[in-house]
Structure 1
Amino acid sequence: MGSGIMMCCNGVLFSRHYRITSGALEPQINGGSTGGGLSTRWKFLEQMDMELSKGNERAALSLVKDLQGKPGGLRCFGASRQIPQRLYTLDELRLNGIETASLLAPVDSTLGSIERNLQVAVLLGGIAAWNVFGLSPQEILFSSLGLLFLWTLDAVYSNGGVSFLVLDTIGHSISQKYHNRVVQHEAGHFLIAYLLGILPRGYTLTSLEALKKEGSLNVQAGTAFVDFEFLEEVSKGKVSATTLNRFTCIALAGVATEYLTFGYAEGGLADINTLDRLLKSLGFTQKKVDSQVRWAVLNTILILRRHEKTRVMLADAMSAGRSVGACIDIIEKTIGDADL
């Protein structure tokens, strides 16, 4: 599988190699039904999972498109209604209950607090070791220089991957709020992508899980997509308005989900920054960037509000490690025709 778009709680639009979480669909997802429509969808999604697990993205997408919009098939893929695209003012966003300051300027206070506590623990541990073992000033200096060297090595060669791996692992272990935020964030990316017609190809919820799958420290948790069409357009320097609209909404879906769930966003600052760089690389002026982002924020939040129940169930499925096909099946089962 080639490089592609990846959206995560701490970054978006990263070019990375990515593999799907493998696993077949569980029979209980469809309640054991063997009805014609459900049975057909079941077989297609199971086959799609197999193709994705083998890295056959084009074959997986072809299966999805074959079943798109058909009775008993995939009614929801790319079927979500959207608002007209125009320049929306900040006042219009506020009228829809959106405060951009709480959404577009995320600060990860949870991991920041854990990092500060670790620094204090290391300092206290050093003082305790000094008292217990009677270390000399020179030994303390050499130990400090050694830690500084390791920290610098991590920052230079793995872009802080080791440090973030430690913080993320501790965060998921001791903070249910942090774990839930990451899960909700990724569920937002997944749901918006599917409803706008971009097929998710896999997801991870922790840096440790990403490390096990990728074998690289420089890969964070996130959701990846079948995005070869987007990459082909980018390589030509001509991204269509439809494609750009989709990926702008997907990029902001994580912070939008956090905002709706918690009242503010903590993760996703890199999502926003990378999206901003992408738009400017396409020649967007700041006014045009603002217009694109405001429309996408409002459009994404309205879709998420409309399908809150589905997002919650999807987050539970992702937290349980269900396959992409199983997650899609949940979306299809819980969204009625009148809701699209």
Structure 2
Amino acid sequence: MNQIAINLIAISVFLMTLSTLLGPLIHLSPTIPALTMVGFLGIATLDNFSFQGKGGTIVLDWLARFSPEYKERIIHHEAGHFLVAHLLDIPVTGYTLSAWEAWKIGQPGQGGVILEDSEIAKQLEKGKIGVSMVERYCNIWMAGIAAETLVFKSAEGGGDDKAKLNQFLTALGFEEKVFEQKQRFYLLQAKNLIQENWESYQVLVEAMKTGVDVEECKKVIRESAT
């Protein structure tokens, strides 16, 4: 069972326990929390087997969005990916800032930046990829964590980014024992890029908050650099 389904089950158990404690005080029938728990368990099971956890991701993301900091972290995280990709000449073709937006276009997770990665795919298929291309993509994957760390002093997201980086390193023939070292190296590289272009990063964050399209995001980055 994936982590999303486990989280849904944990929520249902918590609600069941809370309703059991508070039920007598508010005259709540014990049938209601029991049916609620059955419903949550059913949703978790269906989501796990039929939707690969995507439904649970949307629910948990929606609940988390009641926290202003959570929404800010998502935007700052994705802006980090966007800016570093733009600076390294990897075209950005789109972005999403919620699990629902991501689901509608077939993207996993709570959101993300969509890259035009046909070039790297072609090079990987040939079993040959240049050092420059490797460096660029690894920096981009660690840029979300770098941005969160710079703004909030810690990163809560980025698990998927690390997984992508590790899969990429595996495809290139690196051993697992060097993954953490590589992550730290590219995290530092991404941090430096964002700090060197801090004004561009800040205006990009504000643009993404308003939901402007990719071309407008690129425009504000270019204008801030002049």
TM-score (norm: length of structure 2): 0.83
Contact 1:165 1:217 in 2 (8 A): no
By how many angstroms is 1:286 displaced? Answer: 4.3
State the shift of 1:160 in Å.
1.8
Per-residue deviation, residues 106-162 of structure 1 (Å, max 9, x unmatched): xxxxxx8x99677533543467399644649xx94x764553232122122222212
Provide the residue aligned with 2:64 in structure 1: 171
Cα pair distance change 1:257/1:118, threshold 3 Å: farther
Amino acid at match of 2:73: R
Asked if 1:331 corresponds to 2:224, the answer is no
Structure 2 distance, partners of 1:283, 1:186, is 28
The percent identity for this pair of structures is 30
Structure (1/2) with the larger helix percentage: 2
Unmatched 5+ residue regions in structure 2?
Answer: 1-6
Larger Rg: 1
1:120 aligns to 2:10 (yes or no): no
Hey, what does 2:187 align to over in structure 1? 297
The runs of 5 or more residues in structure 1 that have no matched partner are 1-111
**1:184-235 per-position Cα deviation (integer Å, ceiling 9, x unaligned):** 0000000000000101000010112223x32x58554111011110111122
Q: Which among 25, 47, 50 is matched to residue 157 of structure 1?
A: 50
Cα distance change on mapping 1:203 and 1:118 into 2, 3 Å: farther
Partner residue, 1:267:
157
Higher relative contact order (CA 8 A, sep 6+): 1
**Cα deviation 1:59-109 (Å, max 9, x = unaligned):** xxxxxxxxxxxxxxxxxxxxxxxxxxxxxxxxxxxxxxxxxxxxxxxxxxx
Structure-2 residue corresponding to 1:44: none
Q: RMSD in angstroms over aligned alpha carbons?
A: 3.0
Give the secondary structure class of the aligned counterpart of 2:52.
coil
Q: Would the alpha carbon gap of residues 125 and 250 (structure 1) be closer, same or farther in structure 2, given more than 3 Å must change? A: same
The residue that corresponds to 2:3 in the other structure is none
- Preserved contact between residue 58 and residue 99 of structure 2 (Cα < 8 Å): yes
Alignment match of 2:122 (pick from 225, 228, 232)? 232
> Following the alignment from structure 1 to structure 2, what is the Cα–Cα distance between the partners of residues 296 and 121?
41
Closer, same or farther: CA 328–118 of 1 in aligned 2, 3 Å: farther
Q: CA separation in 2, counterparts of 1:264 and 1:250?
A: 18
Partner Cα separation in structure 1 for residue 20 and residue 43 of structure 2: 16
C-alpha separation in 2, matches of 1:243 and 1:303: 16
Q: Give the TM-score of the pair, scaled to structure 1.
A: 0.57
Per-residue deviation, 1:288: 5.0
Q: Is the 8 A contact 2:84 2:194 kept in 1?
A: yes
Structure-1 separation of matches of 2:74 and 2:155 = 11
Q: Do 1:279 and 1:289's aligned partners in 2 also have CA atoms closer than 8 Å?
A: yes
